[in-house]
Structure 1
């Protein structure tokens, strides 16, 4: 086998001979390896798109006879992250026997249920609708991919003719057909009519390629995609302009990001009229070329063609009519301009649903747009979580590439609305949605935490993220932030340097939250420091720094957060981490105790003022958080030990013994207190929760 590295321009050659050789003759492992490296290149297929398979000879556990088994990506999986738990193993012969009972297109949904009667591996993932497309073809290894270049060919006018022009007689072509058993039969017939072909183009859909080994299949896929990509680029050179040329120029990068941050909360609020959404913004050059073009007005309403695209992006985007240099400072004025566009989009979507629905169609889903285009500025997307909205954005970029290629070849064609509806509201798709796990308590919410580089702040971020929130970590120490941010999976967190004594620094951190996730729902002020000194030793500097960080910082944080929350119109939560010392008088504590008391009373005042906006303000009062708390790392611990006549080493036990429960309080306990306020007690405001093991002199009432 020739495994010399090939040179490709439009796809990434990622086959590592050493890694592949280490897998030996394990064909399933090699098929999974191939799947993962194909899924690593977004030009080949996007997250959750496409499927791959291999066939092996196994021993039947009932007869001890050798049988052919097909291993294929299961329903809802992703080839880029596929492992053995995500595949289905089926008897190939039983799958092919289903031809004897298939009754036609009206029988497609029943056939999916019959796939379960073909299961060989009892640990199989549920087989997907594409299972027969692999099973009815005879090849050992098969790739079904959605490369931008191939969908451009598939979605181009005269697609069959173009296929012939690129590959001659070496590729088959099958017209658009909804995925299912009948499409598998059409692929089988295409191969019978065209023996010796290396693959098949599916009209408006994607690509099938194959090989006798995993490597041969991989190389076949890359070569076919490379040929299509090269053909398209040559056509673009011939035309000299893309998308009819540029109607307008983008505003500068920094200004784009500022506008995105200003607009995001308004868009998020409008997109969340039925369900709260998380946002994503991109100003990728490919996006800007498309949204600034003369052809945007013609192409955007046509919608996407590939089912994998429009299932995630909706059939078409919303294009804003705001001027690229629009002043976005007056939120009410901007809302008046864009709200009618949302109302029109929802009405058009409802008309699409009512025109195309059938007697057994599922109820109409959220009518808000997923993709929003602002010419000159960028593209926004909104969905139930960050991964889903990021993937929707990536899929629409794939759709842009498809339109770009198809327009260069001949002209772009999209699916008829009825065909698109039949995919979007397919009962099998509805069943897949119903199988999704229940959302977590803080799903769809964005939490902004100060002092999150470590200690109590990081513990709070960990807890809120574990309960489903996206977290924005802020601190003054960038190295701590980088380390903290690295502990989360992709699409969960971001970070921003934030000095809470600096108004502009706070504003920039909130901008990061808005551009990354769409806005803010929860703000936790955990940043702080502690200074314990007798009155005569307390300096103006001591007093001022505590007031600036704890009190003025809290004031500035919530003032700016409220402006964002009011734009969203979704309410919100503000939780300062104060202290038992704001309620209890003690020695050597005048500056710190006064600042903490100010935090507490400010929270009561704000709770009274902001209730009309559904913004809740509650306080968590820790006490004696020694283990894992940043403020105990320096002079504060020495000061408290001296005030109580003990050593620093004796502090944890000392503080545990003095509370009613005789418990050591940890950062995780404080995090649980915050979660109770933002995730459970959703009708509480103006409250103080003491997390101190029970200190009678700190009882609020």
Structure 2
């Protein structure tokens, strides 16, 4: 039996007749099904890119009459994850009637507000700027995507002729124009002038395809993109080596990752001149092919062509001139070496803004690069959060694919700088930015909380992510770490965290954890020393092994983690927070507690010493003193609980109530209480406080600091 999937080698045929049959008769459900399939293949479009629609009859609630409605992805959505609440639904006749009052390009932005007068479903998502592009075409199902293979042809110097020759007139062509009402009219004109075409190529932009059913549209889209990809593949190498051939060779992956981990915090520091940025690193083979090529110097400054790529990657990348295997150990010397490149980039961006701005243009935004290319090593991207940084890197890889294809068949052309500016500083884009939610307290911050696979550490990490941070979850127990990772993935998604197996007594493990932070996010801003253990014995039973273990984990572990964190924070030169989870036992003398209590006292005073030393680096060091946090605590799974119960002459199960009763507030302390205290220190309200101790113990008078 013939399998449709066998027809395609450049795109994924994912349509399942059984699943689609369940949706028969519901055109909106089929639109969503088709959209999700298309969005699942990054060769077709990237996150947030493209748009899909369908038209079907529905009952007008005002008249009771049947009328045609268009459902289309709403503003800011993603077709790969699109659901019904992400659609805009509009009366087709009202939308098309807007052409009767349209006065030309000068009125483009005003037309967007009028889309709201065409809304059919009052619970609709806001209509996107692409709405008229779909509305004026008569087809029941329409796909507007940004596939690399099609854009490579659309961005080629003679893309129009190439499209004509390749599709024998079955794909129309519309020259580059910013999306809007007029472009919708141009698409309709192209169709009227070329009846029978199966799609339209938008110069430098993307592809429109369609069908009378969801499946016909899906299949048509795949077929057109497959033809484009086949054409490119057949032409690779005919004009010579890809990107002019290899200029340098990349070192092996372990070297690339080592260099990237060393450099990332320095780059992040430069890119965080205006606000804290989160980083992403990739040494994808497509990136390496481009950055190691002879044509890098010619192509990189041109920037991208597709506006969806450009909006996320900025006007052009910053290309570093460092040797791939350069000695990067001198952080201060490296900063001095790199500073002129960042100054030059900011000046270039400011000149671009000043040259292209209009009277009503929004103020210039952050002038730092989003994409940084390190020949031989890989691509760094920096943005407001991990998802945005990762997606920027993905879009730049799309741009690389486009450049590769266009150069193979012709010559690559990017958007003219004025057109690029008009997209980047479009008032409608600015309005969209202004509608975005206010950043959370820890947006842009990177936190490493030791011992964060359970108990207090996990609660702190969870609180930090809820407040906008990304975290490096770690533990010395791999199974416990895997469980925590699964929990965070379910709660927050893949961009909120990464993991590291960390034993705070081992130098190599500590360095690997911080390297993981650098590669995943670009560095670290908040370090919480939370890993710990407890041993409760009378002095005569305390062994030297007990003593050494307590001091190695609690005191030396805190010291070594802090020492490594400071090295990274100084590379970034944007300050930081170190929080030490100590204990009321650092201040209170109790029975059977010589090793643990004295180690906690050492932790507390070490915190004061670090605060005194690190203030000049704008690194704050503060302490949270918990007491008796039993919930989800690994400490209480062992002999500690029995030891404390014995010391107080009570049963183990009586400990929670016993600890609560001895406090001034008569409260049981939970991990979440400690997490809240940590947020107080790092959430922005106490940025001028260091060397402090905050007790979270329900009120133990003997533990009052003053």
TM-score w.r.t. length of structure 1? 0.99
Which SS does the other structure have where 2:381 is aligned? strand
Mapping 1:261-660, distance limit 5 Å: 261-488=261-488, 489-660=493-664
- Give the structure 2 partner of residue 144 of structure 1: 144
Give the Cα separation in 1 of the matches to 2:531 and 2:269.
28
Deviations 1:125-159 (A, max 9, x none): 11111100000000000000000001001000111
- Give the structure 1 partner of residue 63 of structure 2: 63
Shift of 1:239: 3.4
Deviations 1:260-280 (A, max 9, x none): 010001000000111211000
Q: Answer yes or no: is the 8 Å Cα contact 1:627–1:652 preserved in 2.
A: no
Q: Answer yes or no: is the 8 Å Cα contact 2:248–2:376 preserved in 1.
A: yes
- Give the structure 2 partner of residue 7 of structure 1: 7
Give the Cα separation in 2 of the matches to 1:73 and 1:569.
42
Q: Answer yes or no: is the 8 Å Cα contact 1:68–1:93 preserved in 2.
A: yes
Shift of 1:237: 4.0
Deviations 1:201-232 (A, max 9, x none): 00000000001111111111011000000000
Q: Specify whether residues 40 and 252 from structure 1 end up closer, same or farther in structure 2 by C-alpha distance, changes over 3 A only.
A: same
Residue 676 of structure 1 is aligned with which of 680, 686, 690?
680
Give the Cα separation in 2 of the matches to 1:688 and 1:669.
15
RMSD: 1.0
Deviations 1:317-354 (A, max 9, x none): 00001111110000111111111000000001100000
Shift of 1:612: 1.0
Deviations 1:364-386 (A, max 9, x none): 11000000000001110000000
Is 2:187 the partner of 1:187?
yes
Q: Answer yes or no: is the 8 Å Cα contact 1:456–1:630 preserved in 2.
A: no
Give the Cα separation in 1 of the matches to 2:75 and 2:299.
31
Which SS does the other structure have where 1:304 is aligned? coil
Q: Answer yes or no: is the 8 Å Cα contact 1:37–1:80 preserved in 2.
A: yes
Which SS does the other structure have where 1:41 is aligned? coil
Shift of 1:682: 2.0
- Give the structure 2 partner of residue 260 of structure 1: 260
Q: Answer yes or no: is the 8 Å Cα contact 1:129–1:180 preserved in 2.
A: yes
Q: Answer yes or no: is the 8 Å Cα contact 1:146–1:205 preserved in 2.
A: yes
Give the Cα separation in 2 of the matches to 1:538 and 1:579.
20
Shift of 1:6: 4.6
Q: Answer yes or no: is the 8 Å Cα contact 2:451–2:532 preserved in 1.
A: yes
Shift of 1:627: 2.2
Which SS does the other structure have where 2:169 is aligned? helix
Is 2:690 the partner of 1:685?
yes
Is 2:38 the partner of 1:38?
yes
Structure 2 unaligned spans of 5+? none
Give the Cα separation in 1 of the matches to 2:23 and 2:668.
51
Give the Cα separation in 1 of the matches to 2:219 and 2:89.
24
Mapping 1:195-234, distance limit 5 Å: 195-234=195-234
- Give the structure 2 partner of residue 83 of structure 1: 83
Give the Cα separation in 2 of the matches to 1:165 and 1:597.
79
Shift of 1:21: 1.5
Give the Cα separation in 2 of the matches to 1:481 and 1:54.
45
Which SS does the other structure have where 1:420 is aligned? helix
Give the Cα separation in 2 of the matches to 1:550 and 1:405.
57
Shift of 1:3: 8.5
Give the Cα separation in 2 of the matches to 1:387 and 1:584.
45
Which SS does the other structure have where 1:239 is aligned? coil
Which SS does the other structure have where 2:451 is aligned? coil
Q: Answer yes or no: is the 8 Å Cα contact 1:249–1:376 preserved in 2.
A: yes
Give the Cα separation in 2 of the matches to 1:23 and 1:596.
63
Give the Cα separation in 1 of the matches to 2:622 and 2:195.
72
- Give the structure 1 partner of residue 23 of structure 2: 23
Shift of 1:257: 0.4
Deviations 1:37-64 (A, max 9, x none): 1111111101111100000100111111
Give the Cα separation in 1 of the matches to 2:418 and 2:675.
50
Which SS does the other structure have where 1:618 is aligned? strand
Shift of 1:5: 4.1
- Give the structure 2 partner of residue 243 of structure 1: 243
Mapping 1:86-165, distance limit 5 Å: 86-165=86-165
